[in-house]
């Protein structure tokens, strides 16, 4: 008998998308263009530096890619360990992201004001933030397959537009409607998170990371939020 596919949670999709957009934008503003969740941007930076030595990215931006990979690997090993022991991996996954984001926030606060010639603490903040988003991205793939991706929006926008066009031309069905909802909520959350992360960082600095920390804490203590 096949296991039932989890029903997409609007609140879970919104919150996880919000977290992804918030952290990525805050890191971009606070650490001079660092992409914590947008690994595509890191490929662009590395490619540009190969073609034009004048565009050599900072050491932090170079190290961000392996930090992201380490975050993914840590999440994968954690989930695999939970699977071997027959333990649900959602809470451990949230906890891993929480620990890394708290480290990002603490190092960021201690390094303020951050200068372009970054201190070791600012570097640590960026690498912890990137690792946190690597773990977040892995959790989205491994545990939240019933949701659309929560930190990579290109595919989400593409699918949502395709399904919306099909709905408008009368070619949609129940599955099309369900996909629209599935892809809309993480995308909407991500967009709101980007705006919130920008405004709150400019107002409060790295302490503004308390917002995604609080979101993870809520999902840790109230698993029912994942079913809302």
Domains by residue range for the chain, with CATH: 10-45+56-227 (1.20.1250)
What interhelical angle do 59-85 and 90-111 show, nearest 10?
150
Q: What sign for the dihedral angle of Cα 8, 135, 64, 108?
A: positive
**pTM score, whole prediction:** 0.90
Nearest to residue 133, comparing CAs of 62, 216, 192, 199? 216
Beta-carbon-side half-sphere exposure of residue 208 (alpha carbons within 13 Å): 24
- What is the per-residue pLDDT across 115-158, written as a single tens digit (0 to 9) for each? 777 889 999 999 999 999 999 999 999 999 889 999 989 899 99
User: Contact at 8 Å (CB) between 82 and 88?
Assistant: yes
117/55 Cα distance (integer angstroms): 16
User: Contact at 8 Å (CB) between 201 and 26?
Assistant: yes
User: What integer best gives the mean pLDDT of the chain?
Assistant: 89
pLDDT > 90 fraction of the chain, expressed in percent and rounded? 68
Phi-psi region of 34 (alpha: psi -120 to 50; beta: other; left: phi over 0): beta
């Amino acid at each position: 008998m096949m296991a039932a596919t989890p029903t997409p949670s609007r609140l879970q999709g919104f919150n996880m998308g919000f977290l992804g957009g918030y952290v990525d934008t805050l890191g971009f503003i606070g650490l001079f263009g660092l992409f914590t969740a947008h690994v595509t941007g890191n490929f662009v930076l590395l490619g540009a530096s190969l073609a034009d030595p004048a565009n050599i990215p900072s050491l932090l931006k170079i190290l961000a890619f392996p930090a992201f990979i380490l975050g993914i690997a840590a999440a994968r090993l954690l989930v695999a360990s939970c699977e071997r022991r027959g333990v649900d991996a959602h809470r451990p996954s949230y906890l891993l992201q929480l620990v890394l984001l708290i480290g990002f926030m603490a190092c960021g606060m201690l390094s303020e004001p951050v200068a372009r010639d970054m201190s070791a603490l600012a570097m640590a903040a960026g690498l912890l933030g990137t690792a946190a988003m690597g773990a977040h991205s892995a959790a989205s793939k491994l545990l939240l397959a019933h949701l659309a991706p929560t930190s990579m929006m290109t595919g989400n926008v593409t699918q949502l537009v395709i399904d919306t066009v099909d709905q408008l031309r009368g070619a949609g069905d129940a599955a099309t409607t369900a996909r629209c909802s599935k892809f809309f909520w993480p995308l909407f959350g991500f967009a709101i998170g980007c705006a919130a992360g920008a405004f709150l960082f400019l107002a409060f600095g790295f302490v503004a990371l308390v917002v995604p920390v609080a979101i993870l804490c809520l999902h840790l203590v109230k698993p029912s939020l994942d079913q809302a």
